[in-house]
Every structure is written in structure tokens, then in C-alpha cells.
Amino acid sequence: MKMNDKRRIKELIERLDRITAADEWGDDINPTQWTALSYLSRANSFSRSPSHVADFMTTTRGTVSQTLKALARKGLITEIRSEHDKRSISYSITEKGEKLFKKESTIEEAALQLGGEEVSTLLAGLEALARTALKQRGYKSFGVCDTCSYHRKEAEGGYCNLLNLPLSPPQTKQICHEHTSAK
Amino acid sequence: MKMNDKRRIKELIERLDRITAADEWGDDINPTQWTALSYLSRANSFSRSPSHVADFMTTTRGTVSQTLKALARKGLITEIRSEHDKRSISYSITEKGEKLFKKESTIEEAALQLGGEEVSTLLAGLEALARTALKQRGYKSFGVCDTCSYHRKEAEGGYCNLLNLPLSPPQTKQICHEHTSAK
DNA sequence: GTTACTAGTATCGAGTCGATATTATATTTA
DNA sequence: TAAATATAATATCGACTCGATACTAGTAAC
């Protein structure tokens, strides 16, 4: 690998993120809140607590707690307290929150201009980079059930061998905090 | 392109950025300040004003102004007022600021684990994505002189046909706000 | 020589962020 | 089973980001 390649990769990721972050301001929401909201819209019901969001966002529970309170204040999510563990909370996205997922980000628009080959090699590279980075830091993968080693494919949907639960077709595409990469 | 590919690309870039941002806290510096400092260390002397940093970072002059003041307060950069335009300022990195560029980021460490082929296709993809995104939004490229259409290669270093200036070998590798992609 | 325009800032309010401390609930263990 | 420990979520703090707005001081254009 050329000496500066790794630095250039880091720089490009940072710059691209800042470019999209810039147009995630407005709509009464900021980039961090946007990331949390987006996570909540795609995570399954076992993965929507403040702790899970914090792990996904690589930040602390305290910080995420404030972010989620801000989103709740704006009516974009609602908190649901757990029955069997009175400490824990699960957040759910509201209709109003769902409506925000219309506009496309700069990165997404730019991706549309790339060729199919280019997109798939880029995606493969990013996946590999993320996989390695997560492993190095001991972070959880937060992949979708579909691709988990505990997942068993069924005629309709699937089955989770960890939680012993049947999964509907849409549920197999949701993010789970227990996700473990299928080898 | 598969429907979700573009969304996945955006998600991965965001997540990777948050992972590196997480370990850019500490050392009395935060991720935003880190980006500004890093830019100043690589930009040529015509590209180190608050306005240039703001353009590079896709933010406003006001925000950058504060960030640079914070860095100056910490003794990591120093401001140099221009002679012929008394409004403008150019920042310069100090010895103390230079010393911070030791540790490697998570993304860089992860990149080292990838194969050479993987790195070059990832890099090519990111470059293409960035080029397209910048063009769509009308942002400046901030490339290095080396790759500029105004650049003329010489036996020793190069020459800038825009500013009519000879460039030393290290200068040809610096970031310039006037950079225009060579076709 | 007035009228733009430009470079940089101060200030504001909402919010991020890590650190720390606190509350309430669960789990372990003695 | 009671006491020690662990866990989930928050409140609070101080430094800072961020866009918006308003402002100052130089420079350029007409």
C-alpha cells in the first residue's frame, strides 16, 4: 500500500461525511439527531434502547440520552417503558418522524452518478474497512438479521436461534444489536 | 444499482466517520478542531484563511472563526495578518500543533489490514464519489497542486500558471483552494 | 467619494460531547 | 434474605459546534 493511501481514505470519508452533514441541518433536526432517528427506523424492537443507540453511534449513554430526549420533544419518537425490566426503555419512531425520510442526501445523489461496477467495488471496500475497524475496536456490528450466524432462513421469513423467535420477512431486514457475522 | 446500495454507502461513511471521531476526542482537542488543524498542516500559504478552512469543511466562516480561535488559544496555530490586505489572516501550525500528528486513526489502522487491490479500488471509488458530490454542490475540490490544470511540471518542482509562481517539490504536494482538476 | 463588496468576528440559542454523579431497578452472593 | 454489586437511564457541568444574524473594518467599483 502506498504510504499516503490510508490517510487519503480517512480524509475522503471525513470530507464526504461533512458534506452530507451540511445538508442535514434544517428541518428542525441536526446530523446527530438524524443518525439516531435513522437508526431507530431500521432497528428491531430489541435494539432501540438508549444504550443500543449509544453503541451504534460510538458515543456515551449520557450523550445519546439527551439526543433522544430532544427527538421526543419534537414528537419524532416516543418512549416505551419495558414491562419486565422497569429500568429499560425502547424508543419508537412516530408518523411525523417517518415522514422526514423523503429527501435524498448528497452522497446518495452522487452514488447514482457512478457506474454499477464502481458502486459494487466501493461498497465492498467500505464493508471490509468497517468490518476490520469494528473488530479492532471491539465494537458490535449491528448488521441485519438476514446476515447473522444465529439466523435460520425459513419458507416465510426466518428464525432467530439466539432469542428463539420467529421472524417475519420485514424483521429479517432489521438491524439487531446481537448481530454476529455469519462466517 | 441495487435500491439500497446508495443508502448503505451513506450509512457506512457515517459510521466510519463516527468511529474515528470517537478516538479523536482527548489530547485537549476535538474532531472538528482536528480536521481544521490537519487541513492547515497540508494547505499552502494562499489557502490558510478562515474562509478557506470554512469552504473546505463545508461550514460557515463564523463557525470556523471560533474553531480557529480555540486552536490558537491552545497554542496549536498562530495567526499572521496579511500585509497588503489588512482584512485577511493566514494561520500557521506551530511546533506544538505539529507534534499531535503522531497517532494513527482507527480508519488508517483498519486500512492497513486490507489487501493492496482492495485499497486501490476503495480509494478510486471514494475519489469518484467525492468528485461527483463536490461538483453537484458546486464546492471547490481542494486538491494538491500536482494534480491541478494550472500546474506545469518542471525539472525541480513545478510552476503555477494561475498565480505565476515557481513551486518547490514539497509545495507541489500541498492543498490549494484554487485547485482545478486537470482534465 | 459614496456605494458596494469582502474578510473576519461577536453573540445567540439549541445541541453535541465526555465526565461525573445520581436514581432506580436487577442480579449476585454471602 | 439481606447486603453488595451491577446495570439502565438521567441530570448536570464546561467546552465546544453550528447556523443565523448583526456588526466592524478594510477594499474595490463606479
CATH number of the domain where residue B80 is located: 1.10.10.10
The reply to whether B153 and B86 lie within a common domain is: no
Q: Are B1 and B18 in contact (CB under 8 A)?
A: no
Contacts of B75 (CB under 8 A, 6+ apart): B94, B96, B97
- In this predicted structure, what is the pLDDT of residue B23? 87
B54-69 average pLDDT score? 98
The reply to whether B58 and B89 lie within a common domain is: yes
Between B74 and A115, residue with greater pLDDT: B74
Q: Is the pLDDT at A2 greater than 60, yes or no? A: yes
CB contact under 8 A, A123 and B10: no
A112-134 average pLDDT score? 93
Confidence category of residue B128, pLDDT binned at 50, 70, 90:
very high
- In this predicted structure, what is the pLDDT of residue B4? 85
- In this predicted structure, what is the pLDDT of residue A104? 81
The reply to whether A133 and A146 lie within a common domain is: no
The reply to whether A47 and A88 lie within a common domain is: yes
Mean pLDDT, chain A, rounded, equals: 93
Question: How many residues appear in chain B?
Answer: 183
The reply to whether A86 and A154 lie within a common domain is: no
**Cβ-based contacts (< 7 Å) between B 88-107 and strand D:** none
CB contact under 8 A, A110 and B126: no
Interface test with chain B among A4, A7, A16, by most B beta carbons within 10 Å: A16
Point out the least confidently predicted range of B55-59, B114-118, B131-135, B175-179. B114-118
Q: Which residues of B touch A11 (CB under 8 A)?
A: 38
Q: Which residues of B touch A35 (CB under 8 A)?
A: 14, 18
- In this predicted structure, what is the pLDDT of residue A101? 83
Task: Report the C-alpha dihedral over residues B141, B72, A18, A73, rounded to 10 degrees.
Answer: -160
Distance of CA B138 to the CA centre of its chain: 17
The reply to whether B19 and B47 lie within a common domain is: yes
The reply to whether B118 and B162 lie within a common domain is: no
Point out which residues pair with B45 in neighbouring strands: none
Min Cα–Cα distance to chain A from B86, Å: 30
- In this predicted structure, what is the pLDDT of residue A170? 95
The reply to whether B72 and B153 lie within a common domain is: no
Query: Which of A116, A114, A115, A181 has the alpha carbon at shortest distance from A145?
Result: A181
- In this predicted structure, what is the pLDDT of residue A107? 94
- In this predicted structure, what is the pLDDT of residue A182? 66
Nearest beta carbon to residue B111 from set A9, A56, A127: A9
CB contact under 8 A, B110 and A129: yes
Q: How far apart are CA B106 and CA B183, in angstroms?
A: 34
Contacts of B17 (CB under 8 A, 6+ apart): A13, A14, A17
For the CA atoms of chain A, what is the radius of gyration? 18
Q: Is the pLDDT at A93 greater than 70, yes or no? A: yes
For chain A, the first-to-last Cα distance in angstroms comes to 27
Q: How far apart are CA B90 and CA B49, in angstroms?
A: 5
**Count of domains observed in chain B:** 2
The reply to whether B90 and B135 lie within a common domain is: yes
Between A4 and B39, residue with greater pLDDT: B39
Q: How far apart are CA B88 and CA B128, in angstroms?
A: 33
Confidence category of residue B27, pLDDT binned at 50, 70, 90:
confident
- In this predicted structure, what is the pLDDT of residue B51? 97
Query: Which of A145, A128, A119 has the alpha carbon at shortest distance from B2?
Result: A119
A147-152 average pLDDT score? 92
H/E segment holding residue B78: strand B77-81
Query: Residue A171's domain spans which residues?
Result: 141-183
Mean pLDDT, chain B, rounded, equals: 93
Strands (E), chain A: 77-81, 89-93, 151-153, 158-160, 165-167
Which strand C bases fall within 7 angstroms of a protein CB?
6-11, 14-21, 24-27
- In this predicted structure, what is the pLDDT of residue A23? 87
Confidence category of residue B183, pLDDT binned at 50, 70, 90:
low
The reply to whether A31 and A103 lie within a common domain is: yes
Establish if A126 touches chain B: CB-CB under 8 angstroms: yes
Q: Which nucleotide is nearest to A74 (CA to C1')?
A: C14
Query: Which of A160, A182, A155 has the alpha carbon at shortest distance from A171?
Result: A160
The reply to whether A136 and A151 lie within a common domain is: no
The reply to whether B132 and B147 lie within a common domain is: no
H/E segment holding residue B61: helix B61-73
How many Å apart are B63 CA and C11 C1'?
12
A9-26 average pLDDT score? 94
Between B1 and B98, residue with greater pLDDT: B98
